[in-house]
Amino acid sequence: MTDNDTSMAQPVGAQGGTVPLVLDLDGTLIRTDSLQEQALAFVRRNPFAIFKLIGWVLAGRVALKEQLANAVQLDPEHLPVNEAVVALAQREAATGRKVVLATAAHAETAKAFLQRFPFISEMLATDGKTNLKGKAKAEALAQRFPEGFDYAGDSSADVEVWKRARNAITVGASSGTVRKAKKVSNVIEVIPRTPVLKAFIKCLRPHQWAKNALVVVPAILSGLIIDPANLLPLALAFFALSLTASATYVFNDIWDLQDDRQHWSKRRRPFASGTLSLPAGIAGALVCFIAGLILALLAGPAVLQWVLIYVVVTLTYSLWLKRKVIHDALTLASLFTLRLVVGMVAVAAEPSPWLFVFAMFFFTSLAFAKRHTEIARVIEKGGFWVNGRGYRASDLPLVLAAGISSSVAAVIIMVLYIIEDAHQQSFIKNGDWLWALPPLIFLISSRIWVICQRGELDDDPVVFVVKDKICLAYAAMTGISFFLAWFGVPL
């Protein structure tokens, strides 16, 4: 039988009965770790509870599992399952074969999964004395099933169990673990793992890096972009913001894990879907964060300062402000404006109040478009509250009005900028071309809201703008108009 054979052998014991199929829980039946999920849920309720959690960790693994099992009740319905393992177990159970759950999770935690998976007929789990993992699990299964058993697991700790099993099934295991399993047991099936690097890159949301191109805008509007000496600090500022922002995306996805699993699209994110483990994501995020700070420092102390302010505002948003009506949209807009500030200090450009005020109103409008889409989806599904946010279904007209009024305000600010400031800039040779900007900005905002009202807008309107050909055409015309004004091309 080959390693990838999907058929399941059914060895027969001495007394003629089929040996049971034993499944691990964490990383096997479900694509996550129940203990990590409980720890995250416990801290999410009260971040200061992390000190109590540390005390439980110091008390030992068994004590930790027992305390978390008593403190946090997991909802198995919202945890990602390994469809291949579930299908295998259902197929075997349908033939009359006993399917057993043997897990290192605490018994109180494991019981919650029996109702979700009715094909499980028996359970072995960690109790108040023994951590059912590795050798302890192997001994318990050997005693419980002296005629043999087949075992499906995922980690190197399962090698001890595979030594005592008739047949082994590896689930999402590393290549090294698969090799060890083949040395000690008869591996009848290898269920492959999702590539970690691919999942981590997706978690970093590299497509969002396009937002950080805003760091170049102050250099363009001040005429400093033509100085080659400014290109390196701008590049450093761009990648510093991109890496630190990606690190905060990872933190946000971990913190919002439970909410994302109930969201119509966010449930497909790496953490929510279980394609990326929490430890792997945290380790990768720390590397990105440190690298981003180093690049920011190379760009200059002022850049580092504002990048750190950006991080603080982002974390405050993730922990608190994202659940505050109206405040959340203003915070998102401020994050876009902070990108402009980073670009400004990177090249020591003259601060432009008009630019910052315009950015606040324009990006506030985009933030409200995002919320409008989320509320509309909740209404479509018959819901009342937007999960993880402070909005309710009845807030839809308010969000629509606030979003459109913000976009109109942005156009007005652009008009005032042209009248009061643009013509006074020495590098602007023919400011008449700038009058094309207000109608073009109005067209971009209007298209976003038309698509939003039709229910065709995805979660992120910025991503929509970057991908939409019509918006890109308007943006290109805006850029062309500005450069015609810069070079003084006559009308």
d(CA 41, CA 25): 19
Mean pLDDT of 349-368: 92
d(CA 126, CA 62): 7
Domain assignment present for 261:
yes
d(CA 117, CA 89): 9
Q: What are the pLDDT digits (tens) for 130-168?
A: 999 999 999 999 999 999 999 999 999 999 999 999 999
Residues 367 and 406 grouped into a single domain: yes
Mean pLDDT of 68-95: 94
Q: How far lies 301's CA from each of 228, 256, 307, 345, 427, in Å?
A: 20, 32, 10, 9, 28
More confident residue, 439 or 194: 439
Residue 391: the pLDDT is 92
Q: What are the pLDDT digits (tens) for 204-240?
A: 999 889 899 999 999 988 888 889 999 999 999 999 9
Query: Are the beta carbons of 109 and 80 closer than 8 angstroms?
Result: no
CA angle 208, 251, 396 (to 5 degrees): 65
Give 11's pLDDT tier (boundaries 50, 70, 90): very low
More confident residue, 207 or 246: 246
Q: Is the pLDDT of residue 10 over 50?
A: no
Annotate 308-357 with DSSP letters as a single string. HHHHHHHHHHHHTGGGSTTHHHHHHHHHHHHHHHHHHHHHTPPP-HHHHH
Token pair of 80 as six digits = 């990602």
Q: How far lies 109's CA from each of 34, 155, 255, 266, 274, in Å?
A: 8, 20, 21, 26, 18
Give 387's pLDDT tier (boundaries 50, 70, 90): confident
Residue 490: the pLDDT is 85
Query: Reduced to 3 states, what is the DSSP secondary structure of residue 227?
Result: coil
Q: What is the CATH number of the domain that holds 52?
A: 3.40.50.1000
Range of the domain at 141: 21-193
Q: What is the CATH number of the domain that holds 279?
A: 1.10.600
Residue 459: the pLDDT is 67
Residues 352 and 474 grouped into a single domain: yes
Last residue within a domain, chosen from 136, 159, 193: 193
Residues 245 and 360 grouped into a single domain: yes
Residue 5: the pLDDT is 39
Residue with tokens 């800039």: 425
Q: Which helix (H) or strand (E) holds 103?
A: strand 99-106
Last residue within a domain, chosen from 156, 174, 193: 193
What angle separates helix 301-319 from helix 327-347, to the nearest 10 degrees? 170
Q: What are the pLDDT digits (tens) for 437-460?
A: 999 999 999 999 999 999 888 768
Query: Are the beta carbons of 315 and 247 closer than 8 angstroms?
Result: no
Q: How far lies 185's CA from each of 100, 181, 188, 397, in Å?
A: 19, 6, 9, 63
Q: Is the pLDDT of residue 91 over 80?
A: yes
More confident residue, 398 or 460: 398
More confident residue, 1 or 234: 234
What is the average pLDDT score of the chain? 91
Query: Are the beta carbons of 148 and 159 closer than 8 angstroms?
Result: no
- DSSP for residue 133: S
Residues 76 and 202 grouped into a single domain: no
Considering its fold, how many domains does the chain have in total?
Answer: 2
Residues 138 and 176 grouped into a single domain: yes
Phi, psi of 100 (to 5 degrees): -120, 140
Q: Is the pLDDT of residue 4 over 50?
A: no
Residues 383 and 428 grouped into a single domain: yes
* Cβ-based neighbour number of residue 67 at 10 Å: 19
Last residue within a domain, chosen from 163, 193, 223: 193
Q: Side chain identity at 307, as an amino acid letter? A: V
Residues 221 and 325 grouped into a single domain: yes
Q: Is the pLDDT of residue 382 over 50?
A: yes
Residue 193: the pLDDT is 86
Q: What are the pLDDT digits (tens) for 466-480?
A: 889 999 999 999 999
d(CA 84, CA 28): 10
Q: What percent of the chain has pLDDT over 90?
A: 75
Domain assignment present for 437:
yes
Cα dihedral 50, 55, 56, 59, rounded to 10, equals 160
Q: Is the pLDDT of residue 363 over 60?
A: yes
What angle separates helix 301-319 from helix 231-255, to the nearest 10 degrees? 20
Residues 34 and 172 grouped into a single domain: yes
Q: What percent of the chain has pLDDT over 70?
A: 96
pTM: 0.84
* Cβ-based neighbour number of residue 420 at 10 Å: 10
Q: Side chain identity at 94, as an amino acid letter? A: A
More confident residue, 68 or 226: 68
Mean pLDDT of 296-315: 96
Q: Which helix (H) or strand (E) holds 170?
A: strand 167-171
Domain assignment present for 447:
yes
Q: Side chain identity at 170, as an amino acid letter? A: T
Residue 351: the pLDDT is 82
The count of C-alpha atoms lying within 13 angstroms of the C-alpha of 352, restricted to the half-sphere facing its C-beta, is 29
Mean pLDDT of 300-307: 96
Residue with tokens 């698509």: 451
Number of H helices, E strands in the chain: 21, 6
Residue 463: the pLDDT is 83
Query: Are the beta carbons of 126 and 149 closer than 8 angstroms?
Result: no
Residue 458: the pLDDT is 76
d(CA 241, CA 211): 10
Query: Are the beta carbons of 188 and 59 closer than 8 angstroms?
Result: no
d(CA 58, CA 64): 8
Q: Is the pLDDT of residue 491 over 80?
A: no
Residues 180 and 272 grouped into a single domain: no
Residues 360 and 264 grouped into a single domain: yes
d(CA 38, CA 403): 38
More confident residue, 482 or 285: 285
Residue 327: the pLDDT is 93
Residues 284 and 334 grouped into a single domain: yes
Give 265's pLDDT tier (boundaries 50, 70, 90): confident
Mean pLDDT of 286-304: 97
Domain assignment present for 8:
no
Residues 432 and 357 grouped into a single domain: yes
List, edge to edge, every strand of the sheet that includes 21-23.
Answer: 122-126, 99-106, 21-23, 150-153, 167-171, 186-191
Mean pLDDT of 177-199: 93
